[in-house]
Amino acid sequence: MAAKNTITKNEMLKIIPLGGMGEIGKNMTVFEYDNEIIIVDCGMSFPEDDMYGIDAVIPDFNYVLDKNKSVNAVIITHGHEDHIGALYYLLSKREIPIYGTKLSLGLIKKKLEEKMMDKANLMRNVGAGDIIKIGNFEIEFIRNNHSIADSCSLYIKCAGIRIIHTGDFKIDYTPIDGQVIDLQKFAEIGGKGIDLLLSDSTNAENPGNSRSERIVGNTLMELFRGCKNRIIISAFASNIHRTQQIMNAAAANGRKLALSGRSMINIVKAAQELGYLNIPQDLIIDIKDVKNYKDNKIVILTTGSQGEPLSALTRMAAGEHKQISIKQGDVIIMSASPIPCNEKMIIDVVNNLFSLGAQVIYSKNTSDIHVSGHACQEELKLMISLVKPKYFIPVHGEAKMLIKHTEIAKEMGVRASNVFILQNGDIFEINKREAKADRRINVGITLVDGLGVGDVGNIVLRERRTLSQFGIFIIVATMDKNKLISGPDIISRGFVYMRESSDLICSATKLAKEIILKCEEDNIKDWVDIKSRLKDKLGSFLYEQTGRSPIILPIIMSSTTIAK
């Protein structure tokens, strides 16, 4: 189907971020023209510290689930969780073709298989340099560098508008796989005139240039060569280039490699099957066989670089891993930088490892064990100078990162009036005459809690926070025909220790009884009203006595029901 590059008088191309603006992760952007939509990326993010019980945060899909809209494709820039992690939940609601590179699709298939979903019929394999036409849109995939193989930027044409979406990127002149970012293509496209650049802002605050991944390989080789003890190294499972260098260092130093962590095992398997990992013969052993080798002959590659509660390294640090126990002299290398919301969890794991007698090498004491996969200021400037955009939108970053990136764009000659900072839900509209962002749609977030998706909202989260801070105070009473038969009895959990707070419990019990009897006197028969009075008056009383506000839960039972 040929791309429609005509433009009507009032028709404008809309770009609507549903995630990734003012935050790290959850990247998802809608491109819409003439009621046709393509989506770029569909990622998840980690829950905040106070999102108790939440496993993941994903975008609000309501806009793209509208039956009146034609959603023709999801275009994937690369295979990181913050760009593909929400696809399962979207595909559960709507069947949409997925376009991505070989590794990206391989990782997506593995993730869907873990959740017993087979959507192979929706997968469309593309490579750098390929051009696809989908309805009104024409998309060209441009090779870039990132901390995962097979990452691409996008050149999108629609209705006469030319757009570059960088995706996550950096400029690495010596990448592990030899695939250098295609700067010539960016320059060639820039020479034709680019209307809009959407560019990765993650490292916009960092001066200079990002460092090459090869630096990490050299550091690991030296660390392995000088180490006489067991090595346990954690890294992002998706960083295939890092994994390759760890394998090379292990093989060069006569060590066997064991994998720990479901995602690490699955991704290594997928990457090997697809030809992205060159694993030396007989290098990998089962984690159960580690005990059969001397410490100086073993490397364990594990998940847990972000201190995730259920990850393999976190379980090792807590003494809960089935096969591996941390012991005196173990060398732990954490080959990743902290994602901002995970810093507390990482420090807890590091402290536990130190307490067990391990030597921990991490970003605070050794700088060359990790390099970023995102462009720093000089690379961002180079991208702008090559593309020469008329309009500019920073993407993928917290507010401070987006603001800094706009300053860089203006320094590079983009007019201040042509620079836009968007929030999730803002509608950016553009045609050949103008661009504006003066409308928005209501977008929230969707919380994943176990098997529940979207059934936990702000009220439930607020209750969980209150429970974590102040506990719960339960009042149980039995009534019959509006008369108090027994109770009230008090149960406190996480609020006060009942054995040591007998005076408070007695006073609260007395007050609860008075409230119920007063309801009898006032002929208040509706249990909802009785419970409301108990919550209000007991809440005020407990706050006056303790300065705390537990959840108040009145339970009223019928004597007739009990008898049955």
- For the record, the structure tokens of 555 come out as 């339970």
- Whether residue 7 lies inside any domain: the answer is no
Q: What one-character DSSP code corresponds to residue 292?
A: G
What are the φ/ψ torsions at residue 140 (nearest 5 degrees)?
-110, 135
> Same domain, yes or no, for 196 and 279?
no
Contact 243, 176 (CB under 8 A): no
> Same domain, yes or no, for 518 and 432?
no
- Whether residue 333 lies inside any domain: the answer is yes
- Whether residue 317 lies inside any domain: the answer is yes
Place of tokens 């609260």: 508
374 included as an active-site residue: yes
> Same domain, yes or no, for 254 and 325?
yes
Handedness of CA 499, 501, 503, 508 (dihedral sign): negative
- For the record, the structure tokens of 526 come out as 């509706």
Q: What is the pLDDT of residue 3?
A: 39
> Same domain, yes or no, for 402 and 262?
no
CATH code, domain carrying 555 = 3.10.20.580
Residues 250-254, mean pLDDT to the nearest whole number: 96
> Same domain, yes or no, for 353 and 484?
no
In tens, the pLDDT along 283-296 reads 999 999 999 999 99
Give the CA-trace dihedral at 346, 352, 358, 363, to 10 degrees.
20
**Distance from chain centroid for Cα 44:** 4
> Same domain, yes or no, for 484 and 360?
no
Which residues are registered as beta bridge partners of 389?
Answer: 194
| CA angle centred on 54, ends 53 and 60, rounded to 5° | 155
| CA angle centred on 184, ends 180 and 190, rounded to 5° | 130
- 298's CB contacts (< 8 A; 6+ apart) are 230, 231, 255, 256, 258, 290
Task: Name which of 469, 482, 553, 463 is nearest 512 in CA terms.
Answer: 553
* pLDDT at residue 29 greater than cutoff 60: yes
Q: What one-character DSSP code corresponds to residue 211?
A: P
Selecting among 41, 200, 426, 449, the annotated active-site residue is 200
Selecting among 80, 83, 241, 374, the annotated active-site residue is 374
- 128's CB contacts (< 8 A; 6+ apart) are 101, 141, 142, 143, 152, 179, 182
| CA angle centred on 130, ends 388 and 405, rounded to 5° | 30
In tens, the pLDDT along 476-494 reads 888 887 778 888 888 888 7
Last-in-domain residue among 408, 427, 453: 453
> Same domain, yes or no, for 408 and 527?
no
**Distance from chain centroid for Cα 331:** 29
- Whether residue 554 lies inside any domain: the answer is yes
- For the record, the structure tokens of 231 come out as 């090595």
In tens, the pLDDT along 4-15 reads 434 444 589 999
Place of tokens 């007063």: 518
The 3-class SS string of 236-280 reads CCCCHHHHHHHHHHHHHCCCEEEEECHHHHHHHHHHHHCCCCCCC
CATH code, domain carrying 443 = 3.60.15.10
Place of tokens 């003012």: 22
Determine the residue type at 500.
Answer: E
Distance CA 48, CA 189 (A): 40
Burial of 72 (C-beta count, 10 Å sphere; 0-12/13-18/19+) = middle
* pLDDT at residue 519 greater than cutoff 80: yes
DSSP 80-104: -HHHHTTHHHHHTT----EEE-HHH
Q: What is the pLDDT of residue 5?
A: 39
> Same domain, yes or no, for 124 and 222?
no
Distance CA 105, CA 94 (A): 18
Last-in-domain residue among 338, 369, 400: 369
CB 20: neighbour CB atoms within 10 A?
26
CATH code, domain carrying 273 = 3.40.50.10710
In tens, the pLDDT along 321-352 reads 999 999 999 999 999 887 766 778 888 999 99
Burial 327-364 (b: 16+ CB within 10 A, else e): eeebbbbbbbbbbebbeebbeebbebbeebebebbbee
Distance CA 36, CA 70 (A): 5
50 included as an active-site residue: no
Distance CA 104, CA 80 (A): 8
Mean pLDDT of the chain: 89
Which residues are registered as beta bridge partners of 551?
Answer: 472
Contact 428, 422 (CB under 8 A): yes
> Same domain, yes or no, for 323 and 274?
yes
First-to-final CA distance of the chain: 70
Q: By percentage, how much of the chain surpasses pLDDT 70?
A: 92
Residues 445-454, mean pLDDT to the nearest whole number: 68
Distance CA 265, CA 97 (A): 27
Among 93-102, 277-286, 341-350, name the one with the lowest average pLDDT: 341-350
- Whether residue 203 lies inside any domain: the answer is yes
pTM comes to: 0.82
- For the record, the structure tokens of 225 come out as 């060569």
Q: How many domains does the chain have?
A: 3
Distance CA 115, CA 85 (A): 12
Q: By percentage, how much of the chain surpasses pLDDT 90?
A: 66
Last-in-domain residue among 453, 481, 496: 453
Residue 28 lies in domain: 13-208+372-453
Contact 421, 223 (CB under 8 A): no
> Same domain, yes or no, for 442 and 496?
no
Q: What is the pLDDT of residue 54?
A: 67
516 band by pLDDT with thresholds 50, 70 and 90? confident
Cis preceding linkage at 488, omega within 30: yes
Q: What is the pLDDT of residue 455?
A: 54
> Same domain, yes or no, for 361 and 392?
no
230 band by pLDDT with thresholds 50, 70 and 90? very high
Residues 136-164, mean pLDDT to the nearest whole number: 97
- Whether residue 219 lies inside any domain: the answer is yes
- For the record, the structure tokens of 372 come out as 């970023």
Q: 269 vs 546, which has greater pLDDT?
A: 269
Rg, the chain, Cα only:
28
- Whether residue 556 lies inside any domain: the answer is yes
Burial of 373 (C-beta count, 10 Å sphere; 0-12/13-18/19+) = buried
> Same domain, yes or no, for 177 and 257?
no
- Whether residue 517 lies inside any domain: the answer is yes
